[in-house]
């Protein structure tokens, strides 16, 4: 596989001995972080306390334990970049980190965290500082949805859904933005959904959170156009990942099914081209469906979506 290092930082396809960071652990969002490690330059290399300065850019991927996140990590490692992998399941992250180290000779840092905790984004950034790591690019992939009538939703689960889908990507982007803007070729990828393009009865909270993330991403794309930072919202259609299990219903799947490879590879192509579009929908039929929703009366699109999602739930 080619190693297109220009995706992140030109001229950094040099070989060195690299490996698993040798440091992992869960984050307690309420823990006061220890002393800050040696600082890294604003757009300079990532650094491991007690280890050599890395000439590679460093990319943080949320929800990296499975699905899109794990594949994003793999594709990014193939470009020669180091990674910070975060998700709840530390064992899966450690396994993935070891695989990336063995296959691509990159350093993969493991940082377990639960983004449903509103304090998690600040805790992640504090831990990065404590380890002396500067992030040059960010993939906000973590997210989940719930399926069913809003009146039957668990309020605690609604709060968690908003925290993971809205609060976490917003705060991580803001807290890391100075370093992302200073990076020679930084980027932010936010994984949205085709549900971002119209309200979704039976997925009311999920579609609203993804609409927010799409709107936020497009606004940030415009605000940073004069910089080197590339900003992209990638909108998958339904995909056969663990997402549906978390949602609690295969009935969630409305639209053209896409693979994780289609989603991640399209995002990588858009980044290499400079993210000239703020948002991209995966799958021609999904794009057509989103376009149709913009022009049809809202009452019509809502009725159709309600009928389709309710029918799928009954299957």
Query: What are the residue numbers of the active site?
Result: 206
Distance, CA of 258 to CA of 250 (rounded, Å): 14
Q: How many other β-carbons are positioned within 10 Å of the β-carbon of residue 134?
A: 23
Looking at the DSSP assignment, which residues form a beta bridge with residue 290?
none
Which DSSP category does 56 fall into? Answer: S
Which DSSP category does 166 fall into? Answer: I
Which DSSP category does 243 fall into? Answer: H
CB 62 within 8 A of CB 191: no
Looking at the DSSP assignment, which residues form a beta bridge with residue 109?
84
Residue 254, SS3? coil
Looking at the DSSP assignment, which residues form a beta bridge with residue 97?
none
Distance, CA of 252 to CA of 249 (rounded, Å): 6
Distance, CA of 142 to CA of 218 (rounded, Å): 19
φ, ψ (nearest 5 deg) of residue 26: -85, 155
CB 239 within 8 A of CB 145: no
Distance, CA of 138 to CA of 190 (rounded, Å): 8
Distance, CA of 268 to CA of 47 (rounded, Å): 25
Distance, CA of 6 to CA of 132 (rounded, Å): 24
Distance, CA of 172 to CA of 27 (rounded, Å): 15
Report residue 138 as tokens: 């960010």
CB 234 within 8 A of CB 192: yes
């Amino acid at each position: 596989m080619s190693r297109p290092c220009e995706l992140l930082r030109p001229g950094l396809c040099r070989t060195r001995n690299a490996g698993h960071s040798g440091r992992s652990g869960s984050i307690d969002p309420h823990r006061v972080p220890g002393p800050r490690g040696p600082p890294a330059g604003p757009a300079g290399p990532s650094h491991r306390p007690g280890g050599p300065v890395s000439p590679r850019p460093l990319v943080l991927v949320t929800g990296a334990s499975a699905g899109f996140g794990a594949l994003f990590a793999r594709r990014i490692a193939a470009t020669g970049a180091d990674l910070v992998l975060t998700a709840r399941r530390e064992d899966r992250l450690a396994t993935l980190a070891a695989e990336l180290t063995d296959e691509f000779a990159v350093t993969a840092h493991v940082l377990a965290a639960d983004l449903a905790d509103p304090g998690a984004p600040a805790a992640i950034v504090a831990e990065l500082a404590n380890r002396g790591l500067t992030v040059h690019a960010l993939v906000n992939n973590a997210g989940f949805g719930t399926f069913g009538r809003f009146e039957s939703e668990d309020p605690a689960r609604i709060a968690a859904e908003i925290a993971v889908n809205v609060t976490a990507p917003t705060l991580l982007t803001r807290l890391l933005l100075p370093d992302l803007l200073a990076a020679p070729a930084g980027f932010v990828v936010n994984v949205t959904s085709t549900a971002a393009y119209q309200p979704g009865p039976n997925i009311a909270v999920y579609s609203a959170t993804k609409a927010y993330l799409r709107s936020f991403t497009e606004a940030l794309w415009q605000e940073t156009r004069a910089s080197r930072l590339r900003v992209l919202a990638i909108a998958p259609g339904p995909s056969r990942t663990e997402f549906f299990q978390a949602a609690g219903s295969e009935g969630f799947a409305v639209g053209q099914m896409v693979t994780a490879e289609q989603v991640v590879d399209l995002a990588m192509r858009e980044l290499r081209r400079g993210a000239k579009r703020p948002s991209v929908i995966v799958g021609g039929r999904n794009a057509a469906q989103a376009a149709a929703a913009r022009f049809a009366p809202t009452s019509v699109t809502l009725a159709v979506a309600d009928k389709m999602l309710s029918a799928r739930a009954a299957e």
